[in-house]
Amino acid sequence: MKTDRLLVDTNVILDLVADEAEWADWSQSRLHALSASHRLIINPVVYAELSIGYRRIEDLERALASIPVAMEEIPRDALFLAGKAFIRYRAQGGTRTGVLPDFFIGAHAAVLDTPLVTRDPRRYRTYFPGVQLVTPFD
């Protein structure tokens, strides 16, 4: 791993805050182990996706306070890369008309040259093959 940071995908955080029966143990143990040697981060896209499950910002903030993650902004070069990944997606027959959250998250990990913890590696492997993924499937 080339960095002391590690980006955490929305689904892994959701496992913890929603106590997702199938994945909470894996997500908890991986984040606990990784937090010993990495600074765990999320970005505004992950935050926005998480916010869907909360009525008030204070409730989301309280849930995140129980997880050792810090917020980092997405650099412009990652935003640019997300757009380019979206163009490839559309050229390959993708039907969505707006840039997908996974493209912002994957591009952020790519530009930071940091691993990404996720349970949904398919799109990241396709559009960001250089990003090291930490998944329950590896």
From CA 24, how far away is CA 56, in angstroms rounded? 23
Query: Which pLDDT tens digits describe the chain residue by residue (138 residues)?
Result: 446 999 999 999 999 998 888 999 999 999 999 999 999 999 999 999 999 999 999 999 999 999 999 999 999 999 999 999 999 999 999 999 999 999 999 999 999 999 999 999 999 999 999 999 999 997
Local structure of residue 94 (DSSP, 8 states): -
Token pair of 69 as six digits? 């993650």
Domains in the chain with CATH codes = 5-133 (3.40.50.1010)
Q: Please give, one letter per residue, the 3-state secondary structure of 2-41.
A: CCCEEEECHHHHHHHHCCCCCCHHHHHHHHHHHHCCCEEE
- 3-class secondary-structure state, position 116: strand
CA dihedral 80, 81, 82, 88 (to 10 degrees): 120
CB 45 within 8 A of CB 73: no
Global confidence as pTM: 0.93
